[in-house]
Amino acid sequence: MATQFTVVVVGGGISGLSVGWWLRKAGVDVCVLESEQEIGGTMKTIRKDGWLIETGPNSALETTPLVRTLANDLGIGDELVYGNDLANNRYVVRAGELHPLPVSPAAFVRSRLWTTGAKLRVLKEPFIGKAEKEESVAEFVIRRLGRELLDYAVNPFVAGVFAGNPEELSVQAAFPKLYALEQNYGGLIRGQILGARERKRRSERAKDRARLFAFRDGMQTLPRAVAKALGPRVRTGAEVHRIRGRSDATTGYVVEGVREGATFEIHAESVIVAIPSFRATPLVEPFDISLARALRDISYPPVAEVFVGLRESDVKRELDGFGFLVPEKEHREILGTIWSSSLFPGRAPRGYVALTTFLGGSRQPEVLRRSDQELIDTVLRELRELIQADGTPVEARVVRWERAIPQYRLGYSQVLNQLQAFENRWPGWFFSGNYRGGISVSDCIINSDTLARRAIEYLRSRQVELQHQ
Ligand SMILES: Cc1cc2nc3c(=O)[nH]c(=O)nc-3n(C[C@H](O)[C@H](O)[C@H](O)COP(=O)(O)OP(=O)(O)OC[C@H]3O[C@@H](n4cnc5c(N)ncnc54)[C@H](O)[C@@H]3O)c2cc1C
């Protein structure tokens, strides 16, 4: 059966749903198609016997006021919860022990996470010039801050955010704000000071100042609220197989797929493809084989998220923070652990703690070959050594992402240029998703706002054109 919408969004993760919402808010006749029965993509929440288990993001940084705008628009503003003061305590493992990441220059000087030589090396940073070529995150950090800061700050951080490897990621593409500090201010320390003023003007927050947010009932609250607000405009269980240019008009597209065993066709002026790049590949192939290959080749290393619930009395270490990250140099089997129940209320029943551990990534993709029980055992072994957690878990769950997070590797700007060139060539077709413009939940929300504006601008320009015909 053929239907018609002005804009069809393919993908019901946070990228697709939020662009759907921004468009609807502007009065656009939009529909969102999601292949799974449940919306949210990676952003899903499981509630069980007093435990709150996230399958993907546990929280996000509120780097933009759009998060609050979106929540208020959807009537879930009062469900936003912010990490308590403990959220600022983050630990990094060195020689098997947890060291707090310093949050002030004085704490940096006192810290036992780095040697005196490494700290003195940082003092040179303001006097180091700009790079002449594209650099990996590792090259950038070694040049500006020295090897030890790479090994015991940036390496675990990159594993925590991208599940990635700083040797492979492009600093320009993966950490554009960091790169911009060097480009715009000549250095990180100088940029940190001068950039604060500009951010204040734009009412943005630096990542290190932004508040950590989640939703009282879990991160899926947000996609669910968008779906509720859009009502029948969101169609779950609708897998898109093909997009083709419309034959009865000079522009516009026909989106084809299957829902509940029946094929469908939707005609649209504009189509927004908001799915992982490897799933977009077959849709792009008939139009542009070279872009299709580039999208297929973006690496998404696997990640396992292992949730364990323990009795509070079984954990000897005080869980007074966000959690800890593990540098590669430590040769351990996990990337890090979030102390979920320390940050937000309602994550564990009273008297229990909820811990979420990440394994795999670019560092150890082979870890995902282990069975669920082996992964749980690995986590328990590591937690025993690092935070003196003993006892049998009262709750344990493994979530596997065979292709978790896109890696913005060296040369990534070529992919971005190809995407832009495609959009120029096929007016009304737009790409969205976490492989473009940032992987965090907040970045996805910011990018979908920008994209909605671009789509609206396109629609307006097209109406003008139509009137002239
Ligand atoms: C394990 C993990 C932990 C994370 N932790 C954090 C964190 O703590 N903080 C943070 O800010 N970010 C975190 N992220 C990143 C963030 O969650 C993601 O970048 C973001 O949720 C991606 O949203 P998306 O909509 O772009 O993609 P997705 O969530 O992948 O959504 C895409 C949707 O498209 C659907 N789809 C695919 N193909 C089709 C098709 N042909 N037809 C119709 N539908 C289709 C899929 O079913 C899916 O629902 C984490 C990610 C992972 C994997």
Question: What's the pLDDT tens digit per position in 340-353?
Answer: 999 999 999 999 99
38 close to ligand 1 (CB < 6 Angstrom): no
Q: Whose CA is nearest to atom 50 of ligand 1?
A: 57
Atom of ligand 1 nearest to the CA of 11: 34
Cβ–Cβ < 8 Å for 390, 380? no
303 close to ligand 1 (CB < 6 Angstrom): yes
pLDDT attached to residue 468:
42
Q: What is the mean pLDDT of residues 164-175?
A: 97
* Separation in Å, CA 270 to CA 243, 428, 441: 11, 4, 24
Please state the length of the chain.
469
Atom of ligand 1 nearest to the CA of 338: 8
383 close to ligand 1 (CB < 6 Angstrom): no
pLDDT attached to residue 207:
60
pLDDT higher than threshold 60 for residue 249: no
- Give, for ligand 1, the residue of 21, 36, 222, 275 to mutate: max count of ligand atoms closer than 8 Å to Cβ: 275
Question: What's the pLDDT tens digit per position in 24-63?
Answer: 999 999 999 999 999 999 999 999 999 999 999 999 999 9
What are the start-end ranges of the E strands in 152-203?
none
What is the average pLDDT value for the chain, to the nearest integer? 94
* Separation in Å, CA 343 to CA 19, 60, 160, 412, 451: 29, 12, 17, 35, 32
15 close to ligand 1 (CB < 6 Angstrom): yes
In whole angstroms, give the CA distance from residue 318 to residue 441: 29
Domain boundary assignment for the chain: 2-43+219-299+409-468, 114-201, 301-401
Q: Whose CA is nearest to atom 20 of ligand 1?
A: 441
Question: What's the pLDDT tens digit per position in 352-379?
Answer: 999 999 999 999 999 999 999 999 999 9
In whole angstroms, give the CA distance from residue 322 to residue 308: 16
In whole angstroms, give the CA distance from residue 144 to residue 146: 6
Q: How many A from CA of 428 to the centre of ligand 1?
A: 23
Atom of ligand 1 nearest to the CA of 43: 21
- Give, for ligand 1, the residue of 35, 42, 215 to mutate: max count of ligand atoms closer than 8 Å to Cβ: 42
Cβ–Cβ < 8 Å for 172, 137? no
Match domain 301-401 to its CATH number in 3.90.660.20, 3.20.20.70, 3.30.1300.10, 3.40.50.1370: 3.90.660.20
| Band of pLDDT at residue 20, cut at 50, 70 and 90 | very high
pLDDT attached to residue 466:
42
pLDDT higher than threshold 60 for residue 426: yes
| Band of pLDDT at residue 127, cut at 50, 70 and 90 | very high
343 close to ligand 1 (CB < 6 Angstrom): no
Q: Which residue has the tokens 């096929």?
A: 426
323 close to ligand 1 (CB < 6 Angstrom): no
DSSP line for 374-420: HHHHHHHHHHHHHH-B-S--SEEEEEEESS-S---BTTHHHHHHHHH
Cβ–Cβ < 8 Å for 89, 322? yes
CB atoms within 10 A of CB 121: 17
pLDDT higher than threshold 80 for residue 465: no
Q: Do domains 114-201 and 301-401 have the same CATH topology?
A: no
In whole angstroms, give the CA distance from residue 155 to residue 334: 13
Question: What's the pLDDT tens digit per position in 297-353?
Answer: 999 999 999 999 999 999 999 999 999 999 999 999 999 999 999 999 999 999 999
Q: Whose CA is nearest to atom 10 of ligand 1?
A: 440
| Band of pLDDT at residue 258, cut at 50, 70 and 90 | very high
Q: Residues near 334 by Cβ (< 8 Å), separated by ≥ 6?
A: 326, 357, 358, 359, 378, 379, 382
Question: What's the pLDDT tens digit per position in 88-112?
Answer: 899 999 999 999 999 899 999 999 9
Q: Whose CA is nearest to atom 19 of ligand 1?
A: 439
Q: Whose CA is nearest to atom 52 of ligand 1?
A: 56
Atom of ligand 1 nearest to the CA of 440: 11
Q: What is the mean pLDDT of residues 254-281?
A: 97
Q: Which residues pair with 15 in a beta bridge?
A: none
Q: 168-193 burial, b for 16+ CB within 10 Å, e for fewer?
A: bbbbbbbbeebbebbeebbbbbebee
Q: Residues near 439 by Cβ (< 8 Å), separated by ≥ 6?
A: 161, 162, 405, 406
pLDDT higher than threshold 60 for residue 454: yes
pLDDT attached to residue 7:
96
pLDDT attached to residue 203:
63
In whole angstroms, give the CA distance from residue 70 to residue 21: 8
Q: How many A from CA of 18 to the centre of ligand 1?
A: 12
In whole angstroms, give the CA distance from residue 135 to residue 299: 18
pLDDT attached to residue 247:
65
Q: Whose CA is nearest to atom 31 of ligand 1?
A: 13
DSSP line for 351-372: TEEEEEEEEETTT-GGGGGS-H
Range with lowest mean pLDDT among 11-15, 416-420, 457-461: 457-461
In whole angstroms, give the CA distance from residue 144 to residue 172: 14
Question: What's the pLDDT tens digit per position in 194-216?
Answer: 877 776 776 666 666 799 999 99
Domain 114-201, second-level architecture: Orthogonal Bundle (1.10)
pLDDT attached to residue 254:
96
Domain 2-43+219-299+409-468, second-level architecture: 3-Layer(bba) Sandwich (3.50)
Q: Whose CA is nearest to atom 1 of ligand 1?
A: 56
437 close to ligand 1 (CB < 6 Angstrom): no
